[in-house]
């Protein structure tokens, strides 16, 4: 059985709300509760939430205080997690996640150390220097926009997180840490609907989509 690490310890600076982002009310409830529901619907009941100082975990979830960086929050939550061979990491900032996202990521662990939700790129991606001169155009058919959930064999995640603070701070996702430790990582098909709430615009879109789902 898998345990879940729900990272919710960020402040939400870019959203600019009156409270930490994961606790902003979205379609009638604190944002992080949408992810807790989806986890439970996927049969995952052991949930450790990394929290900002002074906030409580949702009922039935364990809570730990998060760290200064996202990966440090993941490391702290993992240290508090009950025994399980598989771990799924999810950002509380992705409230549109579905039970299928969790199930499919965990199933793909049969063939990899990590399996991560990803959407095919729809924009063309170019590289440019500081002078704005374009130096490369990438083959879009091979590019993926990476999301959470990210599922891991527990020992692979623990090993990957066992690095110095500077490396940990550099990681924008946990799978990168597994990649650099030599582990195998697979992408699992997702869609742009599993968006990350970063700005007030994203919050409006999430509100509309969750409202539609409830109707």
Residues in contact with ligand CTP by the rule CB under 6 A:
7-14, 21-22, 50, 66-70, 73, 91-93, 196, 198
Smallest separation, CB 199 to ligand CTP (Å): 8
Number of residues that bind Mg ion (CB under 5 A): 1
Smallest separation, CB 70 to ligand CTP (Å): 4
Nearer to Mg ion, 6 or 42 (CB): 6
Nearer to ligand CTP, 3 or 140 (CB): 3
Q: Which does 49 bind (CB under 5 to 8 A by kind): ligand CTP, Mg ion, none?
A: none
Smallest separation, CB 10 to Mg ion (Å): 5
Nearer to Mg ion, 18 or 139 (CB): 18
Nearer to ligand CTP, 16 or 60 (CB): 16
- Are 94 and 119 within 8 A, CB to CB? no
Please report, for residues 20, 46, 96, 169, the alpha-carbon distance to residue 205 in angstroms, rounded to integers and kept in the order given: 19, 29, 10, 29
Q: Which does 69 bind (CB under 5 to 8 A by kind): Mg ion, ligand CTP, none?
A: ligand CTP
Smallest separation, CB 16 to Mg ion (Å): 13
d(CA 120, CA 201): 22
Q: Which does 22 bind (CB under 5 to 8 A by kind): ligand CTP, Mg ion, none?
A: ligand CTP
Nearer to ligand CTP, 51 or 106 (CB): 51
Nearer to ligand CTP, 68 or 208 (CB): 68
d(CA 200, CA 178): 32
Site for Mg ion in 2-61 (CB under 5 A): 10
Q: Which residues bind Mg ion (CB under 5 A)?
A: 10
């Amino acid at each position: 059985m898998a345990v879940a690490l729900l990272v919710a310890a960020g402040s939400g600076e870019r959203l600019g709300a009156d409270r930490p982002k994961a606790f902003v009310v979205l379609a009638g409830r604190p944002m992080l509760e949408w992810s807790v529901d989806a986890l439970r619907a996927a049969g995952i009941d052991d949930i450790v939430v990394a929290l900002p100082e002074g906030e409580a975990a949702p009922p039935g979830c364990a809570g730990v205080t998060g760290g200064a960086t996202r990966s440090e929050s993941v490391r702290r939550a993992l240290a508090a997690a009950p025994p399980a061979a598989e771990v799924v990491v999810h950002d509380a900032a992705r409230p549109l996640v579905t039970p299928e996202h969790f199930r499919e990521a965990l199933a793909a662990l049969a063939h990899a150390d990590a399996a991560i939700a990803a959407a095919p790129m729809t924009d063309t991606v170019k590289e440019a220097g500081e002078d704005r001169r374009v130096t490369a155009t990438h083959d879009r058919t091979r590019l993926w926009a990476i999301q959470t959930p990210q599922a891991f064999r527990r020992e692979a995640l623990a090993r990957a997180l066992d690095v110095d603070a500077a490396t940990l701070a550099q990681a924008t996702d946990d799978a990168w840490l597994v990649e650099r430790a030599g582990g195998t990582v697979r992408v699992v098909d997702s869609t742009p609907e599993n968006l990350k709430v970063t700005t007030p615009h994203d919050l409006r879109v999430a509100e509309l989509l969750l409202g539609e789902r409830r109707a």
